[in-house]
Structure formats: C-alpha cells, structure tokens
Chains A and B, each alone.
Chain A
C-alpha cells in the first residue's frame, strides 16, 4: 500500500520535448566544446592507463618485447596475492562499517530540526572527507600511536593495541569514510518526502513498516552506491598507509610503490604494472556497480 504512492510522487513532464528540433540544428557545432576534455583525457589518462595494460601483458628481454601472462600470474600469487586480498578485506570491512555509521549520522542530522547542526555537520564532513592522506596518518600517530596521547592516558599499549596493524588502519580509514558517507546519504535522506511518510502513516503503517517498504527500497541504491564509493576510496588509499604502517600490513598499494621504486627487486616494474591492472579491474567492477545505482537513485530522489 505505501508503495502505491511511489510511482505517482516524482511525476515530471519531459522537459525540452518541444524544442528538440532546434537543439538538433545547433548540435552541429556545439560538440566542439567537448573536444578539449576528450583530447586531454585521451592523452593524460588514456595513455598512462594504456601503458599499464601494455606493460602488464608484456616483458622486456634484451631489447625485445614479448607478450606474456607471466606478470599477471606473478601478481596473483604469493605475497602479491596476499596484498590484494588484504586490500580487498580492509576496504570491504571499512566500507561496510562506514556505510552503516555514516547513514546513522546522516539520519540524525536530517531528522534534527536545527539548521545550525545540519550545516556544521555537513561542513565538517566536507572537510573531513578530504582529510585523508598524510596529515590524517600523523594526527592518528599523535593520538593512538606508540607514544600517542590517548594510548598513554588509557594505557592501550599494555592492552595490546597497535595502530600499525589491520584494526588500526580500520579506525583511521573510518575517519574519512564516515564523513564521505554522510555527504552521500544526506541528500538521499532529504529526498525521502515527508508526504510518503504521512501517506504511510495514514494507511496505518508503523515506522518499521515505513522503512521496510518505502524508506529502505528508495534508499537502497544510495546505500549500495555509498558502499561502493567507500570501498573504492579505501581500496585506492595509499598515502595514509604509507606514512603509517610502511609495510607491516599487506596492502596492494604499498606493494606497487615498493616494486615501482625498485625496493624489492630490479625489474619488477612490470609486475607493478600488472598489480596496477589488477587494481583497475577490481575498482572497475566496483564502479560498474556504482554508476547504474547512482542513476537509479537520482530517478527517485531529484
């Protein structure tokens, strides 16, 4: 019954249907505006990515280049595979936690009637979501590191706490993932129209029923999309981990950096490229889920 209200709510006429012919006539020249963007992307983005794929699939032997799957298979064995799964596990776990907590905070902000609270939380989220990388790592070193303030006050060291570990990274990553989720979900929660809730209440639905039949289904694309976005952010993160753990947690980004700078073995550049290609594939799969979801959620929520 509550779901009956859904199709009617975002009723929108199709804009611009009448002037379609005029638009088409002008179309002959206006595509030129997209040219700088497309050329730039081809050179500065397409070329490096092309080199990643090419390098991952070839090997240099005495000046001659051979096509080979060796780099890719090396990147999927032993310590390299461990770093890939380590990254995936860390990203999935932090994204899941960040999704739930971010949504809770967003809901708390949206249902609060204080404009000032809402504004300050959103401003803070905007800043904190971008507060990744090196400064974040150092802030946490000062807080929860070996001689960190909280570590010493609460004697966490003797309790077995270590910031330079998997749980430590989870705590740090959440610091920028939760604000990111807040930013993603506040507009979606705003889009839950009060009329839908009123309609559900008038039809005798409880709060639980409202969420189960209206709220969650409408928000599901946003939730999933947020999860995927968080996963991607955590998966790609390098600076935080590099400034912090320096290799004690197996992460694929750290492995790539090691191989690129020749720290491990000379001639591992192509394995680094293969690992990069692996990352692109994983992130690509994740984004292939995200973009359609985002489109679905905009259908309801704008």
Chain B
C-alpha cells in the first residue's frame, strides 16, 4: 500500500516532468538557433580558413594568434597587429564612454521622472518608452541627419556665424559616440527609474534633518539605494555598445571600424572565418567579464539589503 509520503513524492515527480515538457519547446528553439551555433563558432576559431570562406577541417591556432598579432609574410616573425589593437581600443573606449555619458544624462533624468506626481510619472515613462521601442536603425538615421555637414547643427552654426565651414562630425569616433549615447540612453534611464521609484524619501528627509547637504544626501543616501539600477543600466548599455554594428556602420563610415565591423569584414571580403570566429569569442569574453562583475556586485547588494 502506498503511503501518503510516496503519493506526495510521485505527484512531485510528475509535476517536475510536466515542467520539463512545458519548457522543452523554448529550450530546443533557443539551443538550435542561438546557443548551439555559439559552440560552433568556438570550434571554427581553431580551424584553418578555407579558400573561399568557410573552413578546412584542420586544427590551427593561427586565428587566435591573429586576434592581436600579425605574422610577417617574409620571415614569419610576429608583431603586434596595430590595426586590430586600434579597433579593440576604440570599441572598448567608445563603449565605456557611452556608458558614462548615458549614466551622466540618465541618472538625473530618472531622478526627475521618479520625483513627479504619480499621474505625470506615467506620461514621462511613456515618453521614454517611445524612443526605446523605435527601431534603432531609424533613430541612428535620425542622428545622421542632425550631425551631417548639411544637417541642422551645422546649418545653425553657419547661420549664426559661429563657424564659416561645416564641422565634420559624421564619420568620426565622436559621431559614433553621439549616436550610441543617443540610441542607448533609454536603456540606462529605465532600470535606474525602476529602482528610483521604490526609493523611500523619508530616508532623504532624515538625512536633511541630520544636517546633510544636498550633495551628501545624493552621495550617501540616494546613490547607494539606487545602485542596483545604476549597475543594471550600465550593463544594459555596455553589452550592446561593445558589439554595436548598426550605429558604427552608419555613422562611422568605413574607416572608423569597431569590433563588429571587423568581424563582418572577416566573414565577407576577408574570407577568414576562423579569425572572425575568434574575434566573436573575444567579444563574448569581454561581455562575460562585464556580466560577472555585475553578478558579483548585484549579489553583494542583495546581501546588504537583506
């Protein structure tokens, strides 16, 4: 005779089996069209390039060497690949500066939104959601029209007599930076707003009562409490920024390549799929390091707030 305990155990096992069945379609689709192919990239990064793209099934560490090194075609000596290093440096620099710029603009914006009355808050939230869901390419194109030589900024500057010839912004690193800060700003504002909205302003009041000035309140009370939102926003901006493709290729022109453009080049004209794969894995590693830092930070936060 089955005891009550056995019956309960059997029910639990059945429940877990149902749960696996239910999640199977999502897991299978994601494995087939997202996760699995990443493993193939890993394998491709240690193979030999084929003559017309693709690979020869022959082990070679060459792609990984080429990520930062250059082999001299005459005497086979290795030297630092200046072009690749420049692109790495530019990508990381632009991603970091974009994160900082969106934070500097996004933090006060989120604060402003969170301190409105409940009804108007919804309107501000709606206003930030619209650019967020507007196609990134369209927003990049909109920026393109503003900053190009015949664009609004240059037209106004010339009419005001500030400059006599248009300033070349387009096809520079600055253009990429402006574009990325513009398109990723909502990604920073939304998570900060989410944690700011929960902020208990009685703590702020207590701070003022204890003679803290505005700056001290901001630094010692508000900032620590919304830190999870700040970290989440930074990670949400940094990840797409380091792998950004659309914005650099539209605003940077052909010369100011970022990592994504270099990867694309290897799969297209470069016909060096292993190198493209090794570069892709390198981008993944950078993202992973950023995510790990995030997880460690977020973990600490939870402990502190119990």
Q: Do A and B come from one complex?
A: no
